[in-house]
């Protein structure tokens, strides 16, 4: 049986949200940040008052946190993994006191002591329990408060290289993990009102929905490309031996390709608001 996305997957999806903490430093090094224009758009949409804090769900190692905090927005971070939070604290140490508060907790069980004008979540909303996440967001936001959910989606620009890396998985009997660099499905798969995030958001009482896309291209060396693949939960969930075999084979292929690869990053942002208070 191939290794990968089967019913016998060694780390089912619901258990994977803590898998990134197994090597939080590697995750922090490998993952890219988010476009400056996205940050500006979120802040414009939320229209936070001066000094008004934002709430970040699943802050990880701070890929989005530092960008918001450096823009003058105080951030309360809720991060379920103590190992990721440790890296987050180190990265935020350079910021002025009071810029970032960190709570190590599952968002589903965390109880805010105030309401926020902005709740944002970078690359992590799918890890939050779908049965409660929207209600929990509503409870954490003030009337008229904004929600911003965003993800990076990656694709190799060179089709020949993608085909060779895909073939390496086939020869080794390893399924390509979903939502990764080599996943052949389009990402984002649906846009605007056709997307699941939009439908769920509006069905749970959020208004003024919007969906925006941002595109950038990054050059990665062989080691940096393998590092990105290593940071995916689907690869982390593979047993060590087949994982190392496929990484070794892919590294050789990229080296043969010239040791460089261009990765297109499409960042998908969903925006919405809670209903404003009525007079």
Q: Do 38 and 214 meet the contact criterion of CB atoms below 8 Å apart?
A: yes
Q: Which of 93, 94, 100, 98 is nearest to 78 (CA)?
A: 100
- Out of 3.90.1180.10, 1.10.3720.10, 3.40.50.150, 3.10.690.10, the CATH code matching 13-273 is 3.40.50.150
The string of pLDDT tens digits covering residues 113-169 is: 999 999 999 999 999 999 999 999 999 999 999 999 999 999 999 999 999 999 999
Q: How far apart are CA 20 and CA 61, in angstroms?
A: 10
The string of pLDDT tens digits covering residues 45-100 is: 999 999 999 999 999 999 999 999 999 999 999 999 999 999 999 999 999 999 99
Tokens 């991060």: give the residue: 79
- The pLDDT > 70 percentage for the chain reads 91
CA dist list (Å): 141 to 137, 210, 277: 6, 18, 12
> Taking phi first (over 0 means left), then psi (-120 to 50 degrees means alpha), and beta for anything else, what does residue 205 get?
left
How much is the pTM?
0.90
Q: How far apart are CA 110 and CA 80, in angstroms?
A: 10
What string of H, E and C letters represents the secondary structure of 172-208?
A: HCECCCCCCCCCCCCCCCCCHHHCHHHHHHHHCCCEE
């Amino acid at each position: 049986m191939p290794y990968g996305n089967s019913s016998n997957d060694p780390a089912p999806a619901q258990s994977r949200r803590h898998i990134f903490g197994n090597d939080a430093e590697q995750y922090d090094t490998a993952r890219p940040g988010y476009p400056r224009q996205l940050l500006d758009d979120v802040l414009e949409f939320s229209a936070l008052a001066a000094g008004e804090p934002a709430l970040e769900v699943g802050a990880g190692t701070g890929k989005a946190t530092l960008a918001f905090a450096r823009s003058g927005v105080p951030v309360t971070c809720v991060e379920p993994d103590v190992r990721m939070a440790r890296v987050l604290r180190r990265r935020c140490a350079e910021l002025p006191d009071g810029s970032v508060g960190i709570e190590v907790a599952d968002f589903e069980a965390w109880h805010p002591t105030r309401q926020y004008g902005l709740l944002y979540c970078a690359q992590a909303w799918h890890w939050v329990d779908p049965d409660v996440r929207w209600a929990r967001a509503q409870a954490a936001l003030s009337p008229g408060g904004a929600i911003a959910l965003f993800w990076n989606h990656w694709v190799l620009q060179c089709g020949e290289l993608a085909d060779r890396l895909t073939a390496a998985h086939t020869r080794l009997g390893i399924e390509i993990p979903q939502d990764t660099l080599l996943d052949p499905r389009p990402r984002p798969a649906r846009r605007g009102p056709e997307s699941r995030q939009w439908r769920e958001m509006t069905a749970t009482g959020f208004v003024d929905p919007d969906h925006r896309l941002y595109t950038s291209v990054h050059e990665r060396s062989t080691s940096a490309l393998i590092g990105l693949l290593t940071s995916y939960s689907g690869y982390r969930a593979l047993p060590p031996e087949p994982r190392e075999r496929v990484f070794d084979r892919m590294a050789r292929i990229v080296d043969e390709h010239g040791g460089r690869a261009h990765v297109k990053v499409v960042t998908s942002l969903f925006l919405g608001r809670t209903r404003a208070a009525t007079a």
